[in-house]
Amino acid sequence: MSASTVADFVAALPKVELHLHLVGSASLDTVLTLARRHPDGGVPTELDALRRFYTFTDFPHFLDVYRQVNLLVTAADVVTLVTELAADLAARTVRYAEVQVTPVRHRMGGVGYDDLAQALVDGRTLARERHGVELGWVFDADAILGPAGAEETVDFAVGHRPDGTVGIGLGGSELGVSRADFAPAFHRAVAAGLHSLPHAGETVGPGEIWAALTDLGAERIGHGIAAAQDPRLLEYLAAHHIPLEVCPTSNLLTGAAPSLAAHPLPALVAAGVPVTLATDDPGMFQTDLDAEYRLCHDVFGMGIPELAEIARTGARAAFCSDELRTQILAEIDAVEAAA
């Protein structure tokens, strides 16, 4: 099977993306626009300097850069980023995406909660009307802000609940941060009808994935690549149909995986764990969802049937409407049949 055949198939393949951070999604052009709009933010305002700025030495350095490029100071900035993200997704045949937003960080940056909620509603409407992309919101607690930050995140999600709200996440550093400490906030979110979608097992071992499952009631796991180290955990994830949101390029560039050749994605798939592909922070990692699918062919040897099944896994794992899920699955079947 030629690479061009696979590339054509991937380009036509309808997709969902379930692990995508709003701030990290900003393209280089968008970041430059925001950096020039807010020059006191300390982010480079020239392209070559910004590219160098996005060279990460390790995962903590990546987190430092990520927080610095949070240049969303006004509601208009939020709408700009959401609509430009939707245009990028549409260009990759993404029909539905769940976007992680960290409301406490935006409040700290100057965007009030009422303005943030309205900006997300406005951006989501424009994404649908202009680009045909449906967006859902996962409100992400930054682990470094501790349980109090998670409680504030739940307050926003439950109190404002912008159209498209689907769940609560937990991102940021895992080192020295226990998932179990965030259980009260997650229990309150779940009781309010939100889904539990934390990161776990990105840069630490499988114990934090177990904690996400048992203490946070996780329904999907962000990253979760450390599951490959624990056969019992692999069996559990497969038996309970708990998907992992796997982001290969992100894992490589942050040092979470030593190389693509050593990435555990093939072992996860072989164990029967539901795996969906995502970009994490595509603007910062200079990737897109098509590139992640092509990588699975080029590096892991996946053919069209395997790539189509990953796309189906994403659609099944999404918290979109049943009508949209059925439509996406039918489109995947049609594109695979044509290939």
Cα 42 to Cα 71: distance, rounded to the nearest angstrom: 10
- Would you place residue 94 in the very low, low, confident or very high pLDDT band (cuts 50, 70, 90)? very high
pLDDT of 2 reads 65
For the cut 90, the answer to whether the pLDDT of residue 58 exceeds it is no
Q: Tally the domains of the chain.
A: 1
Cα 87 to Cα 282: distance, rounded to the nearest angstrom: 13
Q: Answer for the pair 9, 311: CB distance below 8 angstroms, yes or no.
A: no
**Secondary structure of the chain as H, E, C letters:** CCHHHHHHHHHHCCEEEEEEECHHHCCHHHHHHHHHHCHHHCCCCCHHHHHHHCCCCCHHHHHHHHHHCCCCCCHHHHHHHHHHHHHHHHHCCEEEEEEEECHHHHHHHCCCHHHHHHHHHHHHHHHHHHHCCEEEEEEEEEHHHHHHHHHHHHHHHHHCCCCCEEEEEEECCCCCCCHHHHHHHHHHHHHCCCEECCEECCCCCCHHHHHHHHCCCCCCEEECHHHHHCHHHHHHHHHCCCCEEECHHHHHHCCCCCCCCCCCHHHHHHCCCCEEECCECHHHHCCCHHHHHHHHHHCCCCCHHHHHHHHHHHHHHCCCCHHHHHHHHHHHHHHHHHC
Across 293-311, average pLDDT: 97
Active site residue 336: no
Across 90-103, average pLDDT: 98
pLDDT of 62 reads 83
The residue among 283 and 241 whose pLDDT is bigger is 241
- Residues 113-138 pLDDT 10s: 999 999 999 999 999 999 999 999 99
How large is the angle between the packed helices 3-12 and 322-338, nearest 10 degrees? 150
Cα 73 to Cα 225: distance, rounded to the nearest angstrom: 34
- Would you place residue 1 in the very low, low, confident or very high pLDDT band (cuts 50, 70, 90)? low
For the cut 80, the answer to whether the pLDDT of residue 309 exceeds it is yes
Tokens of 287: 């990737």
Percent of all residues in the chain with a pLDDT value above 90, rounded to a whole number:
81
- Residues 154-213 pLDDT 10s: 999 999 999 999 999 999 989 889 999 999 999 999 999 999 999 999 999 999 999 999
Look at the alpha carbons of 22, 23, 25, 27 in this order and tell me if their dihedral is positive or negative: positive
Q: Which of 17, 84, 174, 202 is flagged as catalytic?
A: 202
Tokens of 246: 């796997």
For the cut 90, the answer to whether the pLDDT of residue 78 exceeds it is yes
Which range marks the domain in which residue 69 is found? 3-338
Domain containing 192 — which CATH number? 3.20.20.140
- Would you place residue 53 in the very low, low, confident or very high pLDDT band (cuts 50, 70, 90)? confident
For the cut 70, the answer to whether the pLDDT of residue 60 exceeds it is yes
Across 207-222, average pLDDT: 98
